[in-house]
Structure 1
Amino acid sequence: MKERGIIFNSEMVRAILDGRKTQTRRIMKPQPKPNENGGFSWPSNICQSMINIKEMMQNNEGAWAGIAGIACPHGGVGDRLWVRETWMPDAPRDGTWSDIEFYGCKDSKLSMIPERFRKPEHCIHRASWKGSELVGWTPSIHMPRWASRITLEITNVRVEHLNDISARDVVAEGLIQLPASGRYVRFEGAQHFGLAYRDHKEAFADLWDEVSKPDCNFESNPWVWVIEFKKVE
């Protein structure tokens, strides 16, 4: 079993904490390229040869899942992902860790935090913060392993074109389907602000394009890793 860090924005962290999000899609790098057989080939330094994705997907799911689990840079079934999110250290107010020691200098380093306070319970995570806006949030990319409060276990890995996402998988990505209208929203109560989508792909495209690069937007329909997971309690 291996552990790797994976970044989620605050909206998706809340969906994971709520138990709604059990999938994530990540861009394949490099992208598969069309080959002379009418399929797609993807060069992999792991498999030592060209993997014909079209042929692999025609095999049984277990066989393809095994290959995908080896090739996927985020890990395979049974591996774990620790969530990186926007955060900041939170000094205890009992005098054992001086605020000035860490917060008083612009160039303060995480290594200045006393070892005994390098735990998630001594951090504030933006996705769960309900107080007034704070200054000094640390970007998710800079979250160390000890500050992470969420660990996920990979249960399945596959590949597909981004536009092939199903209505069921959009819900697994953390969106909510309203039982009365069948429309989709990104968070509870969003429909009251006119933020509901008629189509599941329209809803997911809006979510995807908010964080993707222009050349990998929903319309460009790239190949993606589909990683299914469960939260480790």
Structure 2
Amino acid sequence: MLAGKRDRPIIFSAAMVRALLDGRKTQTRRLVHPVLKEGVNPHFSGLRAHRHAGLDWMIHGSEEASAPFRVPYSSDDRLYVREHWKTSIGNNGVAPRDLDQNTPVLYLADSSEHGRCPVGVPGKHRQGMHMPRWASRLTLIVEDVRVERLQSIREADAIAEGLAPALEGYALTRAGECWGPTAAKAYRLLWNSLHGEDAWDANPWVVALTFRVVTGNIDGLPA
């Protein structure tokens, strides 16, 4: 692999995995935490992020506003998707790191009933954060990396996040699927459901990743 290009895990909810599988999701946003210089107003609308060097970015305004900070993603990185999963009941007491790599894996996103993984199949439910690399079935190839304010998201970006407007009103399901009068409004609902009811209003800095989805385990792909 070329220097600077890396393999990293990334976690998605079952609803977002379904969007990946359906080809509806080609973007994701994750929080970043730049360190601003003392006295800089973090809510000043004139602040902009620019790539500094390599993986380092800086926030600029009317004058330099931050020290370089690192964003842990770069174009051509490969991200292996972690998601809610389970194995057969016979493996209930086996830690993920000790599972045989030939162990059959079942995924919550394939369930026809939200919250169960899958319906009617016994076995221990396991969180995405505990999914080993070999059990991942989706790989994302990063094509673009941007640092921006959360509220900078455009309607086209929200659609690329896997969301869509509803014909009437909006709702947020327990599974995290969102509908709204616009896709951007639905994304706001989704963000608050994940990070807290005031999270959108805080307008934090995020890294916006654009990627292509490859169906298959990362270690089965060409180098």
Alpha-carbon contact 1:175-1:184 (below 8 Å) kept: no
2:191 aligned residue: 208
Structure 1 residue identity aligned to 2:24: R
Alpha-carbon contact 1:183-1:199 (below 8 Å) kept: no
**1:109 alignment partner, one of 95, 102, 105:** 95
**1:81 alignment partner, one of 69, 79, 82:** 79
1:127 aligned residue: 109
* 1:191-211 CA distance string (max 9 Å, x none): xxxx74223332111111111
2:19 aligned residue: 15
Structure 2 residue identity aligned to 1:9: S
CA RMSD of aligned residues (A): 3.6
Task: Please identify which structure carries the higher helix content.
Answer: 1
- SS of corresponding position for 1:114: coil
The aligned length equals 191
- Residues 168 and 53 of structure 1: is their aligned pair in 2 closer, same or farther, counting only changes over 3 Å? same
Q: Give, in whole Å, the separation in 2 of the partners of 1:26 and 1:148.
A: 20
Equivalences for residues 122-161 of structure 1 within 5 A: 122-130=104-112, 131-132=119-120, 134=122, 136-161=124-149
Q: Give, in whole Å, the separation in 2 of the partners of 1:77 and 1:132.
A: 41
1:191 aligned residue: none
* 1:36-65 CA distance string (max 9 Å, x none): 9x75498x9x8799823458xxxxxxxxxx
Unaligned runs of 5+ in 2: 63-67, 113-118, 216-223
Q: CA deviation at 1:114?
A: 3.0
Q: Give, in whole Å, the separation in 1 of the partners of 2:208 and 2:181.
A: 24
Q: Give, in whole Å, the separation in 1 of the partners of 2:56 and 2:75.
A: 22
Unaligned runs of 5+ in 1: 56-67, 92-98, 188-194
- Residues 174 and 196 of structure 1: is their aligned pair in 2 closer, same or farther, counting only changes over 3 Å? closer
TM-score, normalized by length of structure 2?
A: 0.71
- Residues 48 and 203 of structure 1: is their aligned pair in 2 closer, same or farther, counting only changes over 3 Å? closer
Over the matched positions of the two proteins, sequence identity in percent amounts to: 33
Task: Please identify which structure carries the higher strand content.
Answer: 2
Structure 2 residue identity aligned to 1:222: P
